[in-house]
Structure 1
C-alpha cells in the first residue's frame, strides 16, 4: 500500500469525509488543500447509476467550459485541400494527411486532441489500435469528426472538454487550475454538471448521480451535495 505524504495527510484532516459540501464550499476547500508546488488541475468525478455494458446507457460527449481548463491543447487535424487551409487558419498545431499517419505509427504523439474530416477517416482508421487506447481517436459524438474544422479547432483551443463514462460508470473531467478564481471554477463546474445531468440515458434506473467529488492533483477528494446544486444563469 502506497504511503501518503505528510502534506496530503495534513490536508486530508481539513476535509470531513462523511460530509456533503455545497459546490462553492467544496471547490474552495479543494483549492485550500492542494499540496503541490505546481499549479494543480482541479477535477470533478461523477459516479453515475448507469450500466455501461448496455449500449443505451453509455455516455460520451464534449462541452466547452466558459473559462477554459488552464491548459493549451495541441491539436492535430487530418484534412486536405481547403479544409487543411481552414484548420491552419483556425490555429491547429499540426495539419496533414498520410504523412502524420506514418509519424504516429512510428511513435510520435506530440498532440492532445485529434480532429479529422469524414473523408480522412479511411486513413485515420489505420491508427485505431494506437489512438483508441489513449482516448485520442476522432469521434462524431465529441465533434472531432467534422467538416467544420474551424469550429472544432476553435472550441478545443477555447477549453473544450471531452467526457466519457468508464466501465464503472465514472466520469472524470477537469474544470480548471488551482490558480483560477473560485467564481471561474464554479462556473465551469456548473457547466459540466448541467451537461452530465442532461446526458442521463432514458434507460437508466434509480439514482443517476450517486456521488460527485472535486479534487486537485494529488489532493484529497471533497464530496459535493449533488442533490442541492443550483445552476445560476
Structure 2
C-alpha cells in the first residue's frame, strides 16, 4: 500500500472518523485539511440504497451547480446549419459534424463536454467506444442530446456536472474548489443532494441515502450527517 505523506497524516488527525459532522463543520474541515499546495477539488461521495443490477435503480443525470466547480469547461458541439451557428454564438469551443468525428477517431480528445443535436447522433454513434468509457458520449438523460443547443452550451460553461451510480451504488461528484467560500460549497452540496433525493427510484424502500462523505483531492474523508444535510 502507498504511504501517505506527513501533511496527509496531520490532516487525518484533525478528523474524527467515528463522527458524523453537520454540513457547515464538514465543509470548514475539508478546507482546513486539504494538504496540497494546489487548489484541490472538493468532492462528495454519496452511497445510495439502490441495487444497480436493476435498470430502474441506476441513477444518472446532470445538475447545474449554482457556483460552478471552479473549472472552465471546453465544450464541443456536433451540429450543422443554424444549430451550428447557435452553438458558436453560445460560446462553444468546437463546432462541427463529420469533420469532428474523424478528428476524434484519429485520437483527439481536447474537450470536457460533448453536445449533439438529435439528427447528428447517427454520425456521433460511431464514437461510442471512444467517448462512452470516458463519460463524454452525448446522452438525452444528461441534456447533451438536444435541440436547445444554446442552453446546453451555457449550462455546461456555467458549471453543469453529470452524475451516475457506480457498481457499488455510489455517486462521486465535484462540488467546487478548496478556495471557494464555505457558503458556496454548502450551496453546491445542497443542490446536488436535493437533486439526488428527487431522483429516488420508486422501488427503493427505507433509507435512500446511506452515507455521505466529503473530501478534497488529496485530503481525508469527512463523514457528513445524512439526517442533517441541510446544515
Pick the TM interval, shorter chain. Answer: over 0.9
CA–CA separation in structure 2 for the residues paired with 1:229 and 1:166: 22
Aligned to 2:62: 62
CA–CA separation in structure 2 for the residues paired with 1:77 and 1:110: 12
Unaligned runs of 5+ in 1: none
CA–CA separation in structure 2 for the residues paired with 1:140 and 1:181: 33
Secondary structure at 1:27's aligned position in 2? helix
Moved more, 199-208 or 38-47: 199-208
CA–CA separation in structure 2 for the residues paired with 1:125 and 1:118: 11
Aligned to 1:180: 180
**In 2, are the aligned partners of 1:59 and 1:199 still within 8 Å (CA)?**
yes
Aligned to 2:36: 36
Asked if residue 9 in structure 1 is aligned to residue 9 in structure 2, the reply is: yes
CA–CA separation in structure 1 for the residues paired with 2:79 and 2:149: 9
Aligned to 1:77: 77
Aligned to 1:203: 203
CA–CA separation in structure 1 for the residues paired with 2:85 and 2:47: 41
Asked if residue 162 in structure 1 is aligned to residue 155 in structure 2, the reply is: no
TM-score by length of 2: 0.99
Q: What is the root-mean-square deviation in Å for CA atoms of aligned residues?
A: 0.8
Aligned to 1:23: 23
CA–CA separation in structure 1 for the residues paired with 2:206 and 2:127: 39
CA–CA separation in structure 1 for the residues paired with 2:222 and 2:102: 44
Alpha-carbon offset, residue 207 of structure 1: 2.1
Unaligned runs of 5+ in 2: none
Asked if residue 52 in structure 1 is aligned to residue 52 in structure 2, the reply is: yes
CA–CA separation in structure 2 for the residues paired with 1:207 and 1:184: 27
